[in-house]
Amino acid sequence: MTESFGARLHAATAARGPLCVGVDPHPGLLQAWGLPVTVAGLERFARTAVEALAPVVAAVKPQSAFFEAFGSAGVAVLERVLADVSAAGALTVLDVKRGDIGSTMDAYAQAYLSDGSPLAADAITVSPYLGFGSLQPAVDLALATGRGLFVLARTSNPEGAAVQDAVAGGRTVAQQVVDAAAEANRDRHPLGSIGVVVGATHADTGLDLSAVHGPVLAPGLGAQGATPDGLRAVFGDALPWVLPASSRDVLGHGPSVTALRDAAARTVDAVRAVLG
Q: Has 61 been annotated as catalytic?
A: no
Give the whole-angstrom CA distance, residue 4 versus residue 214: 12
Name residue 216's beta-bridge partners.
196, 242
List 26, 97, 171, 248, catalytic entry: 97
Residue 226 DSSP symbol: B
Give the whole-angstrom CA distance, residue 51 versus residue 55: 7
Whole-angstrom CA distances from 232 to 17, 123, 156, 229, 272 are 16, 25, 17, 7, 12
Instruction: Estimate the crossing angle of helix 136-145 against helix 102-113, to 10 degrees.
Output: 30
Whole-angstrom CA distances from 53 to 43, 47, 145, 190 are 15, 10, 25, 26
Residue 211 DSSP symbol: T
Give the whole-angstrom CA distance, residue 46 versus residue 160: 29
Q: Are 89 and 55 in contact (CB under 8 A)?
A: yes
Residue 58 DSSP symbol: S
Q: Are 123 and 92 in contact (CB under 8 A)?
A: yes
Asked, as a colleague might, if the bond just before 118 is cis with ω within 30 of 0, I would say no
Q: Are 128 and 99 in contact (CB under 8 A)?
A: yes
**Among all residues, which ones are annotated catalytic?**
97
